[in-house]
Structure 1
Amino acid sequence: MRSGRRTAVDVVSEALDGVAHWDPLLHFIDTLDADGALQRARSVDLGLPLAGVPVLIKARTPAGSPIVTRLIAAGAIPIGTSTRARPDAVSQTFGWNGSEYTRNPWDLSRSSGGSSAGAAAAVAAGVVPLATGGDSAGSLRIPASFCGVVGLKGTAGRVPRADGRSLAGLTIGGFIGTSLEDVALATSLVSGPDRLDPGALPHWPVPALAGSGAWRVAYRSSLGLIESDPAVDAVVRGSLAVPDIGVQEVDLDWLPVDSAWLTLRDLDAGLAVEPSALQAAVRVRSHNSTALADLFSSVDALVTPTTPRVAHGYDQHEQNIVVGDLCWGFNITGHPAVSVPVGLLDGLPVGAQVVAPHGREDIALAVAARITRSLPLPG
């Protein structure tokens, strides 16, 4: 576009054509604003960093949210909203457009994950290069893993929120995208305090992902009661057998987080919480945060599978399927974590999660850049 060979209208029109082709199969659109997107594309300032880039916004994101207003200010063109889980869903790892469940472009019998379900499906299908999401228990990382794309949950407070910092601080806004570079740039552009969230972290500059030097990582295939599928474990372990990555055996004194997360979720939702349950949740947060501080005194990053299994069936929405066991602990502690594709298992993507110290998304992204694998287009 900047060279003049293509226009923003051309690029946005291609994205809308992609919606017309893929959405009847994948059901990732919640609402579509084709006319508004084309109108904005006609007048976009090509000097802006995301000029003419078509994006999807996660359904029910307030229009005035900093993640939306700052994307638009950077030149991005929202073409609509993407599906998320049904409000009354038994499990959140599904998307719903009001009549159909969102499908995975790698296998139409599988879910694309959740709750940022439509975002991952649309990015994986090549409709848009970026889509927004929110992550309170893995809702950026899980769908990214299921669909073979990138999902970044920054440090708690990295992306300002429309209603400010929540009581428990579980939910972090962020992006699902085709590449680490894209999600890093978008996160940088929307970072920094806002009048709606003056307590957000300072602006985060885009880090350099390339560079020399070795990285010390710890690897864990499980952090709770759910063991990873041995085949998934093998794929993720294999991704670490690359230059500049040294895997160290390090103990992690980790407490189970399921009860603590449920208590903190209720607190964020304004529900009544027993003081004893809240005290127990705070103890888990403090204990695990200290355990991670001790871990990061001897390694640079922690790597796990993002999910213990590959994508489950889209028609299992009435089952209480837990796939966030490796993710939600880092919402409680607030650490940055990124999911990247590292291979295929029986034709379905496998994701690896890289976790780094508070404020060190640059480390998580640098390690992730060394282990990520380019996957073929699905379908």
Structure 2
Amino acid sequence: MDLDQLLWAGADAQAQALRDGTVSAPDLLEAVLRRADAVDPRLNLFRVRYPEAAREAAAAAQRRLDAGERTPLLGVPVAVKDDLDVVGDVTAMGGRPQFAPAEQDAPTVARLRAAGAVIVGHTQTPDRCLWPFTESLTNGATRNPWHLDHTPGGSSGGSAAAVAAGVVGVATGSDGGGSVRVPANFCGLFGLKTTRGLIDMGEEEHWHGLAVVGPLGRRVADAAAMLDVIADEDHPGGLYRDSVDAAPGPLRIALSWRTPLGRPRIQAERKQAVLETAERLRALGHEVTEADPPLGTRPSSQFMVRYLRGVADDVAQLPHPEWLEPRTRRIATLGRRVPDRVLARTRAAEADLDAVMRTFFQDFDVLLQPGWTGRQPRIGRFHGSGAAHTLSAVSAGIPYYPTWNVLGYPVAAVPAGRDSIGLPIGVQLVGPAFGEHLLLSLAGQIEHAHPWADDRPDI
């Protein structure tokens, strides 16, 4: 496999090539940097890249490889979403940097670095990571490699687009309401929203427990390899990468069309992709039954309380809130109206929803749901829009995502084909808390039967 092919092979295959000695870490990095130079001007993937620091890291990784050391990502170039601190760089989160350069790495970045992953740069996000599209007044629009007129999603859009464009084989994302799953679905990638608490995010909760870190990869194995590095060291059930190749056995899968706000309208091609996924699962030996978790409307209001108050609390600690986009400031204003007692009551009510879902998962092993309900928005669709219009418009696309942030459950975003203009379509697989091994095994089985990663955008 030549270097250009290896760029599209994904992080797990790159790690194997490095272990086999068929490529060196410095040579692989140079291919990554050349690819970034070629496509970044058109796609706007990175806020900043670290070529010299990455070269030093690649050389150090090669010395470790030559000495016989092995880790899941040793010598592999990775991208980091611009919401995680990288020592020596600011963390901009889609806007003007509010703080001095970081004096230490975020826990996820520290684990990547310790494992010998080569950090290429900070990827683009929307302002304060608020939206399921990646455009900001400060940094402009990030474009979808599959169709440059459309968004790659958000808020992990820069990370997803960098993987989809063949720059890196895996990247970090974060998900507070779909921000890993939306860009994975939009870019034809595998993404994993992890269980709350599985990955160290530092001392403070993000958006009152809604947000978690998760990987985005070309293949299921890429995300699993990253998870083996960034998750807590004690992995009950063994290595996540091993689960990808392990058959899950026959599963009871619930196909759910309802959301807390009812059954939304779904664009025909995307509804058909869910039905085809259900048939594929049946063909793999699983029992698929239409069934909706009896959660009622409560997850919707619980999400909005925690999201709005979370944004307000985030903005309150910024030295220059006036630098934020107007709609970000407006969301924060709304969030400041959420009293402490309402927030506390909302957090306490999560236990009731969790009890309902634990009962549901006694009858089913996994839940299958649609992803985004329509076609990816065009670039500029929300440019200049106020907070109310933007929030209302994106809410129509995301109804299947936020419930699982409220509950903190793991969700796999799985590619499910492309639509009539070539844009990717994705579905979701929801598991019980700390069910990552199960989701990786099932997603790996789907991928083996219906591979998606060899299909590349023409960019």
Verify same fold: TM over 0.5.
yes
Quote the residue 2:434 is aligned against: 359
Quote the residue 1:199 is aligned against: none
What secondary structure, in the 3-state scheme, does the structure 2 residue paired with 1:109 have? coil
Quote the residue 1:48 is aligned against: 70
- Name which of 1, 10, 15 aligns with 2:32: 15
- The offset of 1:229, in angstroms, is 2.0
Quote the residue 1:258 is aligned against: 300
Contact 1:192 1:203 in 2 (8 A): yes
How many aligned residue pairs are there?
370
Quote the residue 1:25 is aligned against: 42
Quote the residue 1:137 is aligned against: 177
Q: Does 1:219 align with 2:255?
A: yes
Q: Does 1:327 align with 2:398?
A: no
Higher helix share: 2
Q: How big is each residue's C-alpha offset from its partner over 1:253-310, in whole Å with a ceiling of 9 and x where there is no partner?
A: 1233333212112444436432563366346533432332122111110011121123
Q: Separation in 2 of the partners of 1:370 and 1:309?
A: 26
Q: Separation in 2 of the partners of 1:240 and 1:159?
A: 30
Quote the residue 2:451 is aligned against: 374
Contact 2:125 2:156 in 1 (8 A): yes
Contact 2:29 2:58 in 1 (8 A): yes
Q: Indicate the percent of aligned positions where both proteins have the same amino acid.
A: 28
Q: Which has the larger radius of gyration?
A: 2
What secondary structure, in the 3-state scheme, does the structure 2 residue paired with 1:239 have? helix
Quote the residue 1:70 is aligned against: 111
Q: Separation in 2 of the partners of 1:88 and 1:235?
A: 28
Q: How big is each residue's C-alpha offset from its partner over 1:187-212, in whole Å with a ceiling of 9 and x where there is no partner?
A: 1211127xxxxxxxx54542423226
- The offset of 1:172, in angstroms, is 0.5
- The offset of 1:344, in angstroms, is 1.1
- The offset of 1:171, in angstroms, is 0.9
Quote the residue 1:294 is aligned against: 359
Contact 2:221 2:444 in 1 (8 A): no
Quote the residue 1:345 is aligned against: 419
- Name which of 34, 51, 54 aligns with 1:37: 54
Contact 1:48 1:75 in 2 (8 A): no
Contact 1:219 1:248 in 2 (8 A): yes
Q: Does 1:192 align with 2:257?
A: no
Residue type of the alignment partner of 1:86 = D
- The offset of 1:6, in angstroms, is 1.5
Q: How big is each residue's C-alpha offset from its partner over 1:161-201, in whole Å with a ceiling of 9 and x where there is no partner?
A: 123445721111111111111111211211127xxxxxxxx
What secondary structure, in the 3-state scheme, does the structure 2 residue paired with 1:104 have? coil
Contact 1:95 1:113 in 2 (8 A): no
Quote the residue 2:126 is aligned against: 85
Contact 1:289 1:333 in 2 (8 A): yes
Q: Does 1:149 align with 2:189?
A: yes
Q: Separation in 2 of the partners of 1:340 and 1:75?
A: 28
Higher strand share: 1
Contact 2:78 2:118 in 1 (8 A): yes
RMSD: 2.2
Q: Does 1:182 align with 2:199?
A: no
Contact 1:59 1:83 in 2 (8 A): yes
Q: Does 1:127 align with 2:167?
A: yes
Q: Separation in 1 of the partners of 2:77 and 2:376?
A: 26
What secondary structure, in the 3-state scheme, does the structure 1 residue paired with 2:54 have? helix
Quote the residue 1:196 is aligned against: none
Residue type of the alignment partner of 1:342 = A
Residue type of the alignment partner of 1:14 = A
- The offset of 1:104, in angstroms, is 0.4
Q: Separation in 2 of the partners of 1:97 and 1:148?
A: 26
Contact 2:127 2:136 in 1 (8 A): yes
- TM-score, length-normalised on structure 1? 0.91
- TM-score, length-normalised on structure 2? 0.76
What secondary structure, in the 3-state scheme, does the structure 2 residue paired with 1:107 have? coil
Contact 1:250 1:295 in 2 (8 A): no
Contact 2:207 2:307 in 1 (8 A): no
Q: Separation in 1 of the partners of 2:129 and 2:254?
A: 37
- The offset of 1:343, in angstroms, is 1.0
- Name which of 299, 303, 314 aligns with 2:368: 303
Contact 1:104 1:111 in 2 (8 A): yes
Quote the residue 1:107 is aligned against: 147
Residue type of the alignment partner of 1:340 = V
Q: Which moved more, 1:244-253 or 1:336-345?
A: 244-253
Quote the residue 1:198 is aligned against: none
Contact 1:28 1:95 in 2 (8 A): no
Q: How big is each residue's C-alpha offset from its partner over 1:10-31, in whole Å with a ceiling of 9 and x where there is no partner?
A: 1111111111111111111110
Structure 2 stretches lacking a partner, 5+ long: 1-17, 87-104, 314-334
Structure 1 stretches lacking a partner, 5+ long: 194-201
Quote the residue 1:233 is aligned against: 271
Q: Does 1:168 align with 2:208?
A: yes
- The offset of 1:213, in angstroms, is 2.0
Contact 1:260 1:280 in 2 (8 A): no
Q: Which moved more, 1:209-218 or 1:110-119?
A: 209-218
Residue type of the alignment partner of 1:295 = F
Residue type of the alignment partner of 2:40 = D
Q: Which moved more, 1:80-89 or 1:105-114?
A: 80-89
Q: Separation in 1 of the partners of 2:380 and 2:309?
A: 31
Q: Separation in 2 of the partners of 1:25 and 1:97?
A: 17
Q: Call closer, same or farther: CA 1:212–1:142 in 2, change over 3 Å.
A: closer
Contact 1:120 1:147 in 2 (8 A): yes
